[in-house]
Amino acid sequence: MARCQACGDVLGVVWAYDLLGIAAFVIGDYAEASSYLRKSANEFESLDAPLGACHALVDLGLSLRYEGKLPAALAAYRQALRYQLEYRFTTETPDTLDGLAVIAAALGHLDLAARLFGAASGWRETYQQKHWFPMPTDFHKSAAHVRRRLGERGWTEAYEVGMKLNNEQALSLGEEAVSALDEELQRRCQAS
């Protein structure tokens, strides 16, 4: 960051904030991670750097989810999906779908979670992307939990529906999931 600041590399500074957020996440300081990642996303947006903003928002969604701030995580994923739709980014979409799947599973929407996991997997297969995320995630653990709860047949049917979605359908599923999960969280908040 100091080098980027010294030479006036504004985008480099913003990427450094993103990396500081990732480092904070890795050591388990989720609040600090979210703070850096939020700053990174906001700065990328102000610099009209949509790929950087999308990347930071996906990381922010994960960090906020680990903080237990599901409504804020959904808002970050929603904005990331908008960037993915508008600019046709392919690199961040499967991580977004996986993050939404974990939230769906946590809220008991197991069929939706399986479809989202399937859509993420199908996306990776289409673009020959490896399952990679700069921060440790619970995607595999959550998918295994959903699989056990649904049973092999239920999991396979829902997962394969997600796998067969084309890009627009997968992004649409992501948007529908954000809306449905947000409504669920609002209902639970009102009930308590």
Q: What would the DSSP string read from start to end of the chain?
A: -HHHHHTT-HHHHHHHHHHHHHHHHHTT-HHHHHHHHHHHHHHHHHTT-HHHHHHHHHHHHHHHHHHT-HHHHHHHHHHHHHHHHHH---SSHHHHHHHHHHHHHHTT-HHHHHHHHHHHHHHHHHTT-----SS---HHHHHHHHHHHHHHHHHHHHHHHHHT--HHHHHHHHHHHHHHHHHHHHHHHHH-
Q: Domain range for residue 30?
A: 2-191
User: Which pTM value belongs to this model?
Assistant: 0.94
- If pLDDT is split at 50, 70 and 90, which confidence band does 131 have? low
- pLDDT confidence of residue 15: 96
Say whether pLDDT at 132 is over 80: no
Number of domains in the chain: 1
- If pLDDT is split at 50, 70 and 90, which confidence band does 133 have? low
- pLDDT confidence of residue 191: 86
- pLDDT confidence of residue 169: 97
- pLDDT confidence of residue 192: 75
CATH code at 52? 1.25.40.10
Structural Rg of the chain based on CA atoms: 17
